[in-house]
């Protein structure tokens, strides 16, 4: 799937199966087999679970099923497409996790998942765009139920292309292409599905997940912006802590004066012991 050198022989190397990627893959596989067994043993129960957890914009807006914004990636269909999605998740996710960390990768996955779902729900409520009597953008029905990890996976692929755009893939294990071109090709396919298919809810969801993944990758790709925001937050928190300390120090000074005792604190509210006070060099009383 991933080839390290841009030129030379193509090699298939398996990344380490660990961390957040391993946990996510195992959860996806576990839920897939559990729902498969439930479909065979109790079809009505499985059907209820699918209706409850798949992303249906109408259910989110009218009935408040907001958990569908998170649960839909864990309900997958065909075994071949699911297996290919897991392989892609393994290869791309492992590299992103190695470079950016498990916490960052987990946030990327759920930002792509939830952000794409929110955009899909909002867009699906809009009326179709008409030009000269022809529908230019097919209306994605809010009654359509969609799911699968492939849509959030496109958000991961977009983020992968942001950081490793020159990395080469074996597309369908045959064609060698750079990551950025694979993502562009995928985006064009989804746009074509959105324009020419009757109900393109899944394509709309994949595009929205890609937009969310791109926004997150671009945001964290600016360390100066992230650092300035964190520094501003910690600066405000520290200033508030110093203010509370100074206020407590003043209250304690007032209390001690009522007890005919004098205590002193510095500008940051820290206690100054009498022996630590700065002596006046002209005052000889403190000398032996």
Specify whether 215 is located in the same domain as 234. Answer: no
Domain that holds residue 272: 227-276
For residue 285, being part of any structural domain is answered with no
DSSP-assigned letters across all residues of 208-276:
HHHHHHHHHHHHHT-HHHHHHHHHHHHHHHHHHHHHHHHHHHHHHHHHHHHTT---EE-TTS-EE-GGG
For residue 128, being part of any structural domain is answered with yes
Specify whether 214 is located in the same domain as 238. Answer: no
For residue 193, being part of any structural domain is answered with yes
pLDDT at 287: 45
Taking the C-alpha atoms of residue 263 and residue 252, their distance in angstroms, rounded to an integer, is 8
For residue 281, being part of any structural domain is answered with no
Specify whether 134 is located in the same domain as 15. Answer: yes
pLDDT at 11: 44
What is the total count of domains within the chain?
2
pLDDT at 262: 75
pLDDT at 10: 42
CA-closest candidate to residue 149, choices 211, 77, 57: 77
For residue 121, being part of any structural domain is answered with yes
Specify whether 207 is located in the same domain as 241. Answer: no
| Per-residue pLDDT in tens (0 to 9) along the chain, 288 residues | 444 444 444 444 667 888 899 999 999 999 999 999 999 999 999 899 999 999 999 899 888 899 999 999 999 988 888 998 998 899 889 989 988 889 999 999 999 999 999 999 988 887 665 444 444 445 567 888 899 999 999 999 999 998 888 877 666 556 677 888 888 888 898 888 887 776 688 889 999 999 999 999 888 655 545 555 556 666 677 777 777 777 777 777 777 777 777 777 776 667 676 665 555 545 544 444
| CATH number reported for the structural domain that contains residue 119 in this entry | 1.20.1540.10
Taking the C-alpha atoms of residue 12 and residue 174, their distance in angstroms, rounded to an integer, is 12
For residue 286, being part of any structural domain is answered with no
pLDDT at 170: 64
pTM metric for this prediction? 0.69
């Amino acid at each position: 799937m991933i080839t390290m050198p841009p030129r030379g022989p193509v090699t298939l190397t398996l990344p380490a199966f660990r961390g957040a990627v391993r946990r996510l893959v195992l959860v996806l596989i576990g839920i897939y087999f559990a729902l498969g067994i439930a479909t065979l043993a109790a079809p009505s129960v499985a059907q209820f679970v699918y209706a409850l957890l798949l992303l249906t914009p109408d259910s989110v807006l009218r009935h408040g099923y907001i958990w569908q914004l998170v649960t839909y990636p864990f309900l997958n269909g065909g075994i071949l497409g699911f297996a290919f999605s897991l392989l892609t998740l393994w290869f791309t996710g492992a590299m992103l996790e190695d470079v950016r960390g498990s916490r960052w990768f987990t946030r990327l996955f759920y930002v792509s998942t939830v952000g794409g779902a929110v955009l899909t729900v909002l867009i699906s409520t809009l009326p179709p765009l008409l030009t000269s009597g022809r529908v230019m953008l097919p209306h994605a029905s809010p009654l359509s139920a969609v799911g699968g990890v492939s849509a959030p996976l496109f958000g991961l692929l977009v983020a992968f292309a942001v950081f490793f755009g020159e990395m080469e893939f074996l597309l369908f294990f045959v064609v060698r292409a750079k990551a950025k071109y694979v993502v562009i090709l995928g985006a064009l396919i989804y746009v074509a599905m959105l324009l020419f298919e009757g109900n393109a809810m899944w394509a709309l969801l994949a595009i929205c997940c890609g937009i969310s993944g791109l926004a997150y990758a671009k945001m964290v790709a600016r360390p100066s912006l992230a650092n300035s925001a964190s520094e501003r937050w910690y600066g405000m928190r520290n200033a508030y802590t110093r203010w509370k300390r100074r206020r407590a120090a003043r209250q304690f000074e007032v209390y001690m004066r009522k007890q005919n005792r004098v205590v002193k604190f510095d500008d940051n509210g820290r206690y100054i012991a009498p022996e630590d006070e700065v002596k006046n060099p002209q005052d000889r009383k403190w000398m032996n």
